[in-house]
Amino acid sequence: MMYLNTSPPTPATEPNPQELAELQATLLPPALVMLVPEDQLERRCYEINITHPHYREETPVVLKEERQRRQRLSGSLQVVHRQEQMA
């Protein structure tokens, strides 16, 4: 007989740096994270959380860091030219 697990998931703990490194080395390499659209990255993190639940504390860290990186780089580039006075 099969039973349905109806117990709530255990609360998230602090991200483990070693597991974060493993996640980025195997399932979410930085080059992939940088190239995919954000909605696909969110979907991939959701899939990883289901298939590899031990990474569920680390996937939000990857998402947050990538969102911050994209926000930082979303502004227009400006060339600043300083003209120093010659005496």
| Cα distance from N-terminal residue to C-terminal residue, the chain | 91
* 42 inside domain: yes
Sign, Cα dihedral of 24, 27, 30, 34 = negative
Structure tokens at 81: 């030219």
Q: Which residue has the tokens 């010659």?
A: 86
From first to last of its 87 residues, the chain has per-residue pLDDT tens of 667 767 766 666 789 999 999 999 999 999 999 999 999 999 999 999 999 999 999 999 999 999 999 999 887 666 667 666 655
What is the domain range of residue 48?
17-70
* Amino acid letter for position 57: E
* 51 inside domain: yes
Q: How many domains does the chain have?
A: 1
* 64 inside domain: yes
Q: Which residue has the tokens 């998402």?
A: 63
Whole-structure pTM value: 0.70
Which residue in 33, 45, 39 sits closest to 69, CA to CA? 33
